[in-house]
Amino acid sequence: MRRAYKFMLLLYPRGHRDQFAEEMMRVFEEASAESRAQGRAWYVRFAFAEIAGLIGGAAGAWLASEPVPAVPVTSGSRSRNTQHELIEAQQRIDENIAGMVHAIANHQFERARLLSEQERQAREHLRVLQENSGAQNMEWMVSFPRQFAPETRAATLRRRARRPAFLHV
Amino acid sequence: MRHVVTQNIREAKPLTEPVLLILTSLAAHPRHGYALIKDIESLSGGRVRMSTGTLFGALRRLLEDGWIERFELEDTARQKQGYRLTAQGRGALQLELDRMKHLTRAGFARLRAREAI
């Protein structure tokens, strides 16, 4: 079962695997040992639940993951994924600011405070990304204007959720 | 002020059950993956036994939204990663609990009104 689980982890996108696979394996092993001790029927039920959870989780991870770059990354150029992350981080900051302005205009001060905190975190995230990719001056973004940048599914959903109610038709 | 709180409750999207359970479990103190599964099982009275796929899918979303953060555990040999609630996550949990409280009050009020007839 351990080997099958490890194999099924390949269903996840690479980003998710890099981040969680080792930890998922550890948690699975502990849970597996416990359910095995509770009897065969319990273990079979556990195994089915884990397989179903893995398939559902992998599907969700793929839906939420960034689109695969259409243009292959040439050697020496910055990774397209990093560009996506930087663009998305910048978009998140813009969305938070727009939301904050909207909230203040509607006297929703608690919401504005929450968005302000999100904006601060988004800026911090952008700073870390810039440091990691060595893109402090962001000059490469000039050739990749924000309005033409591909939007990730997560960003689209966030943007739609934040539209004022009268735009939802 | 009451108006603002009610408005926020109205605007907040209901959380999914796994997310609500994870946030509730982390509200008291940080936990690692397996401890989360066990605590959620006990929180729900044995009704919810989260699979690792569901757990880590929800954890990934929460990390992306900045509602929880990951940190290195120092005191255990096997479970190296722990998770804790951020201020933003605490705020989201508070909003959801307010929303549920609001709904529960309304539900009980209607039940009482029905019994009084």
pLDDT value at residue A99: 76
Instruction: Please state, in angstroms and rounded to a whole number, the distance separating the CA atoms of residues B35 and B25.
Output: 9
> Cβ separation of A27 and B49 shorter than 8 Å?
no
Best interface-test mutation with B: which of A2, A14, A23, A43 has the largest number of B CBs within 10 A?
A23
pLDDT value at residue B40: 94
| Contact indicator for A9, A25 with CB cutoff of 8 Å | yes
- Number of helices (H), then strands (E), belonging to chain B: the values are 5, 3
Going by C-alpha positions, the residue among A69, A98, A94, A70 that lies closest to residue A84 is A69
List C-alpha distances in Å: A52 to A55, A129, B48.
Answer: 5, 34, 15
Closest Cβ–Cβ partner in B5, B49, B52 for A27: B52
Residue with tokens 């929800």: B58
ipTM of this predicted structure: 0.75
pLDDT value at residue A42: 85
> Cβ separation of A57 and B81 shorter than 8 Å?
no
Q: Which residues of chain A lie closer than 8 angstroms to B11, CB-CB?
A: 108, 111
Structural tokens at position A153: 């599914």
Instruction: Please state, in angstroms and rounded to a whole number, the distance separating the CA atoms of residues A93 and A80.
Output: 20
B23 Cβ contact list (under 8 Å, min separation 6): B15, B62, B67, B68, B85, B89, B92, B93, B96
Low-confidence ranges of chain A (pLDDT < 50): 68-77, 137-148, 167-169
Per-residue model confidence as pLDDT tens digits over B18-66: 999 999 999 998 999 999 999 999 999 888 889 999 999 999 999 998 9
Instruction: Please state, in angstroms and rounded to a whole number, the distance separating the CA atoms of residues A159 and A99.
Output: 10
Instruction: Please state, in angstroms and rounded to a whole number, the distance separating the CA atoms of residues B64 and A33.
Output: 31
Contact with chain A for residue B59, Cβ under 8 A: yes
Q: Which residues of chain A lie closer than 8 angstroms to B7, CB-CB?
A: 108, 111
- In chain A, the residue whose alpha carbon lies closest to the alpha carbon of B81 is A23
pLDDT value at residue A117: 80
> Cβ separation of A60 and B59 shorter than 8 Å?
no
> Cβ separation of A161 and B13 shorter than 8 Å?
yes
Q: Which residues pair with B68 in a beta bridge?
A: B85
B102 — pLDDT class (breaks 50, 70, 90): very high
Q: Which residues of chain B lie closer than 8 angstroms to A27, CB-CB?
A: 33-34, 37, 52, 55, 79
Q: Which residues of chain A lie closer than 8 angstroms to B49, CB-CB?
A: 49
A140 sits in the region (left: phi over 0; alpha: psi -120 to 50; else beta) called alpha
| Contact indicator for B97, B85 with CB cutoff of 8 Å | no
Contacts A–B by Cβ distance under 8 A: 88
Mean pLDDT over the full length of chain B:
85
pLDDT value at residue B90: 94
> Cβ separation of A121 and B91 shorter than 8 Å?
no
Contact with chain A for residue B94, Cβ under 8 A: no
Global confidence as pTM: 0.58
Q: Is B74 helix (H, G, I), strand (E, B) or coil?
A: coil
Per-residue model confidence as pLDDT tens digits over A84-94: 777 778 877 87
